[in-house]
Amino acid sequence: MQWLKNLFREKKTFEQLKPWLDEQLNSKNTDKKQAIATAEQEFPELLIGAKQAAVALEQAELRNPNIPERAKHFMHGNREQFLKLTNRFIENLFVPKEPADFSQLDVLFHQYAQNTARPGAILSEFIGDEVSAVRKTLEDMEKQIQGIRKVQAEIDEFQKIQDILVRIENVKKERESLEKQRVDFEQQLQQLRVVYENLRKEKEDFINKPEYLKVKEDLVSAAKERQEAEQAITTLFLPLSDAIKKYAHDTKHEKIASYADNPLETLMKDYSFGIVKHVQAIREAITSGKLGLKPEKTQKALESLNHLTKEELGPMLHRYARAKKNETDVHHDVAQRPVIQEYEQYAVSLKEKAAEIQQLETTITKLTLPTDEQLKEELKQELEKHKIILI
């Protein structure tokens, strides 16, 4: 039957809420001022009445003169306590004007009720009418305060709606700001991508220039020369790998064993070509079958041994050393050429732009637009209390 309920509800748009809310708040604030003015006008008389009731309680005589002295003494003690608390309470009462005043008064009333509960109950057994008169005057004062509290509570309800509207407006502004920021970031990203693509095309054109191709050719040629010299040495020792490992193990020559794993580095450090001294022993170990090589590996190993001489190893090592030095010199020379410096600048620029693009893409991805759905739901619930439907 929700449709039936809606017939008795007023429909309002966001634009209509603000003037309606201003009107309600102005009206309630006027009511509050009037309630405060009325209370301030009546409060002095109520205070006098409360003090007079307290005096009447203080002067009240017992209805029954036959009460034992001990009971009288007990009654007097509780009356003194009740009056002391009551007079202090009356002195502290005031007309509330601000929301914080109600909290202070709540504490006063709570403490008074708690502290006078026992002495008040005891006194009521002796002089109940006077105790009731005191409480009646205090209730009248409380009614004045509650009247103001009621209006303040209504103001608080409307202010809650106002606060929600402000928060919704702030979310809207934040969302619009972030949307504008996103658009700006996407435009920057598009510009960066254009710059990156132009740099990439420029780099492609650049590496086809004759001067760059000459650099590439020099580097490839130097590398090829070094690789060929390196391969000549590794190819010579490759068929001997198994034989050298087993021979070194059997004869406990650890230095010789390194020729099996890394012949080039070992040969470069073997300044006296110590491997040559073991050639004959390795040959005899192979031919005698001590190393257990397969027939196809035996023949290749023996052929390689024929070339392990100082006369052949020396030139091969020198060739590698010259090729290695030449490659180093070419790299150093190339690094000084303007064409390489220009190429490196392209590489640096492309790397920087790629990093900027990635950072901006991450920033855009992390941009989260705030939503006001929950706030609108809160607003609908608050408006429901006033029989208003938000449309």
Question: What DSSP string runs through 193-213?
Answer: HHHHHHHHHHHHHHTTSHHHH
Q: Are residues 158 and 248 in the same domain?
A: no
Q: Are residues 164 and 242 in the same domain?
A: no
Q: Are residues 233 and 164 in the same domain?
A: no
Q: Are residues 249 and 126 in the same domain?
A: no
More reliable by pLDDT, 132 or 285: 132
194 within domain boundaries: no
Q: Are residues 295 and 377 in the same domain?
A: no
Q: Are residues 8 and 121 in the same domain?
A: yes
Q: Are residues 234 and 139 in the same domain?
A: no
* pTM given for the model: 0.60
- H/E element, 390: strand 388-390
333 within domain boundaries: no
Q: Quick one: which of 214, 186, 201 has its CA closest to 360?
A: 186
46 within domain boundaries: yes
Last residue of a domain, one of 305, 326, 347: 326
Q: Are residues 380 and 285 in the same domain?
A: no
The Cα–Cα gap between 88 and 107 comes to 14
Q: Are residues 252 and 113 in the same domain?
A: no
Domain holding 307, by residue range, is 226-326
355 within domain boundaries: no
Q: Is the pLDDT at 3 greater than 70, yes or no?
A: no
Q: Are residues 82 and 149 in the same domain?
A: yes
Percent of the chain with pLDDT over 70: 98
Q: Are residues 114 and 243 in the same domain?
A: no
The Cα–Cα gap between 39 and 198 comes to 80
Between 5-14, 27-36, 266-275, 284-293, the lowest mean confidence (pLDDT) is in 5-14
Q: Are residues 35 and 162 in the same domain?
A: yes
Query: Using an 8 Å Cβ cutoff, are 134 and 54 in contact?
Result: yes
Last residue of a domain, one of 311, 326, 341: 326
62 within domain boundaries: yes
How many domains in the chain?
2
pLDDT for residue 8: 52
Q: What is the mean pLDDT of residues 260-267?
A: 88
